[in-house]
Amino acid sequence: MLCKLIPIAVLLGSAVAQNATLRYMPFGDSITEIICWRAKLWEKLKPTEWGTVNWVGSGRGENNCGDATYDRDNEGHSGFLAIDIANRQQLVGWLQQNPADVITMHLGTNDIVQQNKPVADIIKAFTTLVGVMRASNPNTKIVVAQIIPMGFGSYNTQIQSLNTAIIPWAQGLNTTASPIWVVDQYTGFSGTSDLRDGVHPNGSGDDKMVNVWYPALVNAFQVAQAAKAAAEETAAAKVEIPFTA
């Protein structure tokens, strides 16, 4: 009788990682909370292989989107500043309650509109928030938006400055394990015809945001799933079971 050890991964193959459920957190302010781009994005993802992704977050706010079936979980907080979320360490608790593999972030509008915070201070807050994400999950995949314009006041000059600063900031923090992708939600978005109240997207604005989020999010899901698959197979390969021949 010959007894030898074989990796359990040989028996399980790639099915282990295939069954892993990705967790996605939409993170931001009211432009993430009381809108309908999340519902429309979920509907666009549903018929794809990413339709079973688990959306996570402590909130379920929206804007009467007319879909009772979509996963409303999100971490959008109306009126919140990026600087305050960072300084008060609020994201720490949110991620403890709802860990995520992929996070989208559209944040900074209230910092500019409410308190005219300097771009450098907002970027510093973003750095803190990314650190929190990675402390919660070192392999977090992050998609950061250059934020949409406003439909009133002179805020868009400051918004454009923030959007410009986001690109080198993301490049400086990008890692293989936890990449940061930047998407442009500003270009092609009208501060008049795509907003319902000068701040929040209307139907056409939601559609435009979905069209920007979708390819980046699918890419992030693919990268996250591949990383999970590799981690699962590595862990499985370390577990050996006796085999008798």
16 pLDDT above the threshold of 70: no
Query: Across the chain, what does the average pLDDT equal?
Result: 91
List helix spans (H) across the chain: 8-12, 15-18, 30-33, 37-45, 82-87, 90-97, 109-113, 119-136, 155-173, 203-237
* Structure confidence at residue 237 as a pLDDT band (50, 70, 90): confident
pLDDT at 142 over 50: yes
Which pLDDT belongs to residue 235? Answer: 76
H or E element that contains 54 = strand 54-55
Lowest mean per-residue pLDDT among 89-103, 122-136, 230-244: 230-244
Q: Are strands 75-76 and 3-7 parallel, antiparallel or unpaired?
A: unpaired
At 204, list the tokens: 């056409």
pLDDT of residue 233: 80
CA dihedral 221, 222, 227, 231 (to 10 degrees): 90
Do the bridges between strand 23-28 and strand 75-76 make them parallel or antiparallel, or are there none, so unpaired?
Answer: parallel
pLDDT tens digits, 158-216:
999 999 999 999 999 999 999 999 999 999 999 999 999 999 999 999 999 999 999 99
pLDDT at 13 over 80: no
* pLDDT exceeds cutoff 70 at 241: no
pLDDT of residue 240: 56
User: Cα–Cα distances in Å, from 33 out to 91, 95, 135, 208?
Assistant: 15, 17, 24, 16
- Asked if the model's pLDDT at residue 2 lies above 50, the reply is no
The answer to whether the CB of 245 falls within 8 A of the CB of 8 is no
What distances in angstroms separate CA 39 from CA 1, 78, 184, 203, one per listed residue? 60, 17, 20, 11
Q: Say what the pLDDT of residue 8 is.
A: 41
pLDDT at 9: 40
- pLDDT of 15 above 80: no
